[in-house]
Structure 1
C-alpha cells in the first residue's frame, strides 16, 4: 500500500477550509483521522502545515483482508 500524509495540529487533523459570512475563512479541523484530508504528496501537505502551524505526519495504510 502507498503511504499518505496528514497535517496535525495538537490533537486535531486538518479537514479543509471553512468559509464564513464575512467572506473570510478559517481552517476546519477534526479529531478523527477518517475525516481528515490525506494526500500522497508530502510537499502539498507541508505547505498546508506551514500555513496553519501544524506538522506533517506519515500514515502507513494497510489493506485489511
Structure 2
C-alpha cells in the first residue's frame, strides 16, 4: 500500500480549510486521525504544515482481510 501523510499540530490533525467572510482561511482540526485528511503527496501536506505551524507525519496503512 502507498505511503500517506498527515499534518499534525500538537494533538490535533488537519481536517480541512474553510474560507471565512473576511476572505481569510480558517483551518479546521480534529483530534481523531480517522477524520483527518490523508494525502499521498508529501509536498502538498508540507505546504499546509508550514502555513499552520504543524509537522508532517507518515502514516503506515495496512490492508486488513
**Alignment partners' CA distance in 1, 2:62 and 2:32:** 18
**Alignment partners' CA distance in 2, 1:24 and 1:56:** 23
Structure-2 residue corresponding to 1:57: 57
Gaps of 5+ in 2: none
Gaps of 5+ in 1: none
Give RMSD over aligned pairs: 1.0
Aligned length: 65
Structure-2 residue corresponding to 1:9: 9
Structure-2 residue corresponding to 1:18: 18
CA shift, 1:25, in A, is 2.3
**Alignment partners' CA distance in 1, 2:61 and 2:21:** 38
TM-score (norm 2): 0.91
